[in-house]
Homo-oligomer: A and B are copies of this chain.
């Protein structure tokens, strides 16, 4: 897929719970085809301690307005600076679309999209694409507690949303893997993006139950284009780049050794 670099106009910047926000960035032209699971490399200007671009999943795509949205958590200076972008005034320079994509389900498959925190980011666009393909996605979203639950109306429009909070302050008490809906044995495909422990728990359970499962990894990246070889993931086929061979991986291909 042809990559491009473009200054998009920031047309929205909404604060969600806690340190999360959604940036809307609108192209003056026509957006290229974007696959679910792909990401952008965002240039952070005016941040003295941010040298490299920052990888961010594509949260949603609106083709009528040629707008990409990004769901971002403030993690450090780069994301902090992005959180202060002013709609209508600032631009954001994106290198995109990058990476591979999630595998869409076949007709009639039952699919569960699991995630938490900023890991929810790619799941909305994935859910939309799944829904457009005629399959109804379900979502299992996990949060620390009630006050950290992120807005998920857009998810609800696409399919049922199941909530888990670690302290039980809303939804089911526990992790996403503790949700009854997750434990049901009849998923054909499970997708996951979230903190590493969540992805590992989901992967372990899926592997056990022989469910096809894809995860989206958030390895440290320098280039995002397959040229620096910094973002490698040990797989059965050797070290692969998570920016070009990923960020989406089938759990059966991963070695997961990097993480402990």
Q: Which residues of A contact B (CB under 8 A)?
A: 45-48, 50, 81
How many copies of this chain does the complex contain? 2
Report Cα–Cα, A46/B47, bound state, in Å: 5
Q: List 8 A-B contacts (CB under 8 A).
A: A45-B48, A46-B46, A46-B47, A46-B48, A46-B81, A47-B48, A48-B48, A48-B50
Q: Which residue of chain B has its CB nearest to the CB of A46?
A: B46
Q: Which residue of chain B has its CB nearest to the CB of A51?
A: B48
On chain B, the residues within 8 Å of A47 by CB distance are: 46, 48
Report Cα–Cα, A47/B48, bound state, in Å: 6
On chain B, the residues within 8 Å of A46 by CB distance are: 46-48, 81
On chain B, the residues within 8 Å of A81 by CB distance are: 46
On chain B, the residues within 8 Å of A48 by CB distance are: 45-48, 50
On chain B, the residues within 8 Å of A45 by CB distance are: 48
Q: A45-B48, A47-B48 are in contact. List 6 more A-B contacts (CB 8 A).
A: A46-B46, A46-B47, A46-B48, A46-B81, A48-B48, A48-B50
On chain B, the residues within 8 Å of A50 by CB distance are: 48
Report Cα–Cα, A45/B48, bound state, in Å: 8
Pick from A47, A48, A50, A81 the residue with the most CB of B within 10 Å. Answer: A48
The 4 A-B pairs of least Cβ separation, nearest first, read A46-B46, A48-B48, A46-B47, A47-B48
Q: Which residue of chain B has its CB nearest to the CB of A45?
A: B48
Report Cα–Cα, A46/B50, bound state, in Å: 10
Report Cα–Cα, A45/B47, bound state, in Å: 8
Q: Measured between C-beta atoms, what is the minimum distance from A208 to chain B in Å? A: 48
Q: Which residue of chain B has its CB nearest to the CB of A84?
A: B46
Q: Which residue of chain B has its CB nearest to the CB of A44?
A: B48
Q: Measured between C-beta atoms, what is the minimum distance from A42 to chain B in Å? A: 15
Q: Measured between C-beta atoms, what is the minimum distance from A97 to chain B in Å? A: 26
Q: Measured between C-beta atoms, what is the minimum distance from A190 to chain B in Å? A: 42
Report Cα–Cα, A254/B111, bound state, in Å: 81
Report Cα–Cα, A45/B46, bound state, in Å: 8
Report Cα–Cα, A45/B49, bound state, in Å: 11
Pick from A47, A50, A81 the residue with the most CB of B within 10 Å. Answer: A47
Q: Which residue of chain B has its CB nearest to the CB of A49?
A: B48
Report Cα–Cα, A132/B227, bound state, in Å: 67
Q: Measured between C-beta atoms, what is the minimum distance from A86 to chain B in Å? A: 10
